[in-house]
Amino acid sequence: MTEVRDQFDSPWKDILEAYFQDFLQFFFPQIHAEVDWSRGYEFLDTELQQVVRDAQLGKRLADKLVKVWKLNGEETWVLIHIEIQSQEESHFSERMFVYYYRLRDRYHRPVVSLAILGDDRETWRPQPWQDELWGCRVRFEFPIIKLLDYRTRWEELEASRNPFAIAVMAHLKTKETQNNASARKEWKFRLTRRLYEQGYEREDILNLFRFIDWILELPTGLKQAFRDELEQYERERQMPYVTSIEQMGIEKGREEEREAIALKMLQENIPLDVVARITELSLDKIQQLRASSQNN
């Protein structure tokens, strides 16, 4: 089940890969200032996957491992944990430590672990992990960003052109409008309109719109209303960056990914009603997928 849920983390993974430098500049400016960006950076997915498999810790997050170079010429690996579930996890700090020491031990590289917490528990602030026995003591501390804290920094978010300001705004409004679909539609339109107003390039608008579109999910009855409103806005300003065709392409891609998730869950014999609730596919569609997979 945990592997299936992790595939819903892909919007965060996508935006982090597309805007890694902006990510560090927005959340960890002191680290950003010490990186030699002229030498570029490299995502180390293979290395991270190997460590995660070996660790056998069960739960997987939207984790990314990135190789950067410091201004002093030293190669450093940045391990980023993004926890977007709406629940606290008692072993979070320990898992951070396990990933850290396994990477350090296997590859003999300096590692910096960073955590982004998107839960809605105000009181959950993971403490450093520590262990001590007979005078032998280990204490592991790591920087933490709590997205919930940005609720009181809304003006700062509005003033920023960093892509992650938009991401945080969308995340907060997703939490805030869980039980108010009309308000969610309004915020989805306002944040999408903001992409145009801030003068983002076409590719950036499409990338950030995909993130907004994914996490500010609307019920079927409001999807068309949102599209109509957006099309009218585009026509008025003659800036058709996010056209209906592109929206439908995004929706088609998302539908295909949900179907792939459903198939994986069916292979694990997860009940149909649970599959429907998590993937938001109809029971008829899920039954069709099951029948098709059995025939193949």
How confident is the model over 184-204, as pLDDT tens digits?
999 999 999 898 888 888 888
Written as one string, the DSSP assignment of 218-262 is: --HHHHHHHHHHHHHHHHHHT--SS-HHHHHHHHHHHHHHHHHHH
How confident is the model over 9-39, as pLDDT tens digits?
568 888 999 999 999 999 999 999 999 999 9
Q: What per-residue confidence (pLDDT) applies to 250?
A: 64
CA-based nearest residue to 222, from 177, 176, 254, 285:
177
The one-letter amino acid code at 72 reads N
Reported as a pLDDT band with limits 50, 70 and 90, residue 287 is confident
Reported as a pLDDT band with limits 50, 70 and 90, residue 5 is very low
CB under 8 Å to 125, separation ≥6 — which residues? 144, 146
Q: Are 164 and 156 in contact (CB under 8 A)?
A: no
> How many angstroms separate the CA atoms of 31 and 95, rounded?
22
How confident is the model over 209-263, as pLDDT tens digits?
889 988 888 887 888 888 888 888 877 877 655 555 466 556 656 777 778 888 8
> How many angstroms separate the CA atoms of 84 and 296, rounded?
35
Q: What per-residue confidence (pLDDT) applies to 3?
A: 39
Return the residue matching tokens 């396994």. 102
Q: What per-residue confidence (pLDDT) applies to 6?
A: 42
Reported as a pLDDT band with limits 50, 70 and 90, residue 7 is very low
For 219, other C-beta atoms within 10 Å of its C-beta total: 11
Q: What per-residue confidence (pLDDT) applies to 8?
A: 44
How confident is the model over 91-129, as pLDDT tens digits?
889 988 988 988 888 888 888 999 888 888 888 888 999
Q: What per-residue confidence (pLDDT) applies to 247?
A: 61
Q: Are 185 and 226 in contact (CB under 8 A)?
A: yes
The one-letter amino acid code at 65 reads L
Reported as a pLDDT band with limits 50, 70 and 90, residue 87 is low
Written as one string, the DSSP assignment of 30-68 is: HHHTTB-GGG--EE-HHHHHHHHHHHT-S---S-EEEEE
Reported as a pLDDT band with limits 50, 70 and 90, residue 44 is confident
